[in-house]
Amino acid sequence: MLYVVTVKYGKERAAELELGDAIFPHDPGVKITRTEFGGVLLLDTALGYDKLIRVLSVFPPVNVERIVPVRECCRVEELTRCVDRLVREAGSVVNVRIGRKGGIPSNLIKVLEAMRRRGSTVTVHVEPVSKELVCVGVTKTGEDRFYTIRERRISTRK
């Protein structure tokens, strides 16, 4: 399964090591790739989302901010069709979260921002991974925020 992992900018190498060390015992075939954008990694693992979160929650990586399961990747020029399809599948009321905006033309950002609906329980994530390619995923709103999982885990150890 493919995931987009956002990490603290400049901490990509540390995040790769943290993720790899945690996942490797459960999936020796794990692959972590840097993208053209700082702070964005692609994680390819056999672990499903729930198992991945359980594994990473044991020793939460300090540099990981968000983990989003990728539903599909599409070319930038096909982005609105790609997101529109996922919005329709997810239901009429969804939030659209745009990651690194530098990889998306401003006219497309305006279209995506117009799709946003506050108070939604579902979020469609849009994350550029190269100048030509954008990955899109769907989560329950807030479920992608690994830093909150880490904070809860750390605060329960007292």
- Count of domains in the chain? 2
Clarify whether residues 149 and 131 are in a common domain: no
Give 3-state DSSP helix, strand, coil % of the chain, rounded to 5: 35, 30, 35
Clarify whether residues 29 and 41 are in a common domain: yes
Q: CA 115, CA 80: separation in Å to the nearest integer? A: 10
Sole residue written with tokens 């540390």: 14
Select the more confidently predicted residue: 30 or 138: 30
Select the more confidently predicted residue: 8 or 111: 8
Clarify whether residues 29 and 86 are in a common domain: no
- CATH for 94: 3.30.2300
Percent of the chain with pLDDT strictly greater than 90: 53
Looking at the predicted structure, is the pLDDT value of residue 107 above 60?
yes
Clarify whether residues 108 and 131 are in a common domain: yes
Is the Cβ–Cβ distance between 70 and 3 less than 8 Å? yes
Edge-to-edge strand list for the sheet holding 95-98: 72-75, 133-140, 122-128, 95-98
Instruction: Fill in the DSSP letter of residue 99.
Output: -
Select the more confidently predicted residue: 147 or 45: 45
| pTM recorded for the entire structure | 0.87
Clarify whether residues 87 and 54 are in a common domain: no
Is the Cβ–Cβ distance between 85 and 78 less than 8 Å? no
What's residue 154's pLDDT?
67
Is the Cβ–Cβ distance between 103 and 134 less than 8 Å? yes
pLDDT tens column, 15-53:
999 999 999 999 999 999 999 999 999 999 999 999 999
- CATH for 35: 3.30.70.940
Amino acid at 57: S
Provide the domain limits for residue 39.
Answer: 2-70+144-155
